[in-house]
Amino acid sequence: MKKTTLIISILLVFCMSNSLKSQEMTNEQKKSYALGANVGESFRSAKITLNETDFLNGLRDALAGNNKFSQAEMQQIFEMIDQEIIAQQSSGSAEEMAKGAAFLAENKKNKDVVETPSGLQYKVVTMGKGAKPTATDQVRVHYHGTLIDGQVFDSSVQRGETITFGLNQVIPGWTEGVQLMPVGSKFIFYIPSNLAYGDRSMGIIKTGSTLIFEVELFEINP
């Protein structure tokens, strides 16, 4: 976490007001509360624990120009926070990878599921009769993405709009998988974390997550 980010976060949390209903707030109060709530959600998501009294004391001291820590001490503390976040992410990644490995091991027992040498798994829902794209082609598709527990994280189907993109601009599991699809096909892909986002988190997608995509290929634009 950067020093400036933490300072801004402290300032924003100070502005929050829980005593007013949203319709009774001034625009200034609404902005302050929304920004503070966003910071709070970010801290909660990152699992950063805070002592509320010390947190507010630090805020007041900083506003009064009486920060108890030197810049060097502040930097050391921020580095400590960074290390704690990294450790939490690594632990979460290992847990998610273990869940994904167990899921994929069981999933490939299904006679309709094919596993490629990379570890990508797929199931054919509908096999089209058109051409297959290459890794440098643009494709137009519908997709529906879920975690292995069924939680939806992204879906062009739900939005009601197809999407066009280059196969060299997406996660490796997509680049490999969609090249297996003739136009007119619908496949389900089971993508291990190393072919997805790996140690990156993306919204509700945790680090190390195995992903499931149902993909329908409509068109190739070389």
* Residue 55: pLDDT over 90: no
* Residue 197: pLDDT over 80: yes
Q: What is the dihedral of CA 221, 188, 130, 132, to 10 degrees?
A: 60
Which is catalytic among the residues 85, 153, 188, 218? 153
Helices 3-14 and 27-45: crossing angle, nearest 10°? Answer: 130
Confidence of residue 74 (pLDDT cuts 50, 70, 90): confident
What's the whole-number average pLDDT of the chain?
84
Q: Name the CA radius of gyration of the chain, rounded.
A: 23
**Enclosing H/E stretch for 164:** strand 163-166
CATH 3.10.50.40 range(s) for the chain read 95-221
Whether residue 199 lies in the annotated active site: no
* Residue 6: pLDDT over 70: no
| H-assigned helices in the chain | 3-14, 27-45, 52-63, 71-107, 156-159, 172-178
Q: Which two tokens stand for residue 220?
A: 């190739």
Whether residue 69 lies in the annotated active site: no
Whether residue 197 lies in the annotated active site: yes
Confidence of residue 188 (pLDDT cuts 50, 70, 90): very high
Strand, helix or coil for residue 34: helix
Rounded to whole angstroms, the Cα distance separating 195 from 151 reads 19
What pLDDT shows up at residue 45? 64
What pLDDT shows up at residue 76? 84
* Residue 38: pLDDT over 80: no
Helices 71-107 and 3-14: crossing angle, nearest 10°? Answer: 90
Whether residue 14 lies in the annotated active site: no
What pLDDT shows up at residue 154? 93
Whether residue 137 lies in the annotated active site: no
What pLDDT shows up at residue 23? 64
What pLDDT shows up at residue 86? 61
Tens digits of residue pLDDT in 118-142? 999 999 999 999 999 999 999 999 9
Which is catalytic among the residues 14, 171, 188, 199? 171
Whether residue 213 lies in the annotated active site: yes
What pLDDT shows up at residue 19? 46
Residue 217 · residue 185 · CB < 8 Å? yes
* Residue 114: pLDDT over 60: yes
CATH number at 95-221? 3.10.50.40
* Residue 211: pLDDT over 80: yes
Which is catalytic among the residues 197, 205, 212, 220? 197
Confidence of residue 58 (pLDDT cuts 50, 70, 90): confident
* Residue 160: pLDDT over 70: yes
Confidence of residue 3 (pLDDT cuts 50, 70, 90): very low
Which is catalytic among the residues 33, 154, 212, 220? 154
* Residue 4: pLDDT over 60: no
Rounded to whole angstroms, the Cα distance separating 152 from 146 reads 4
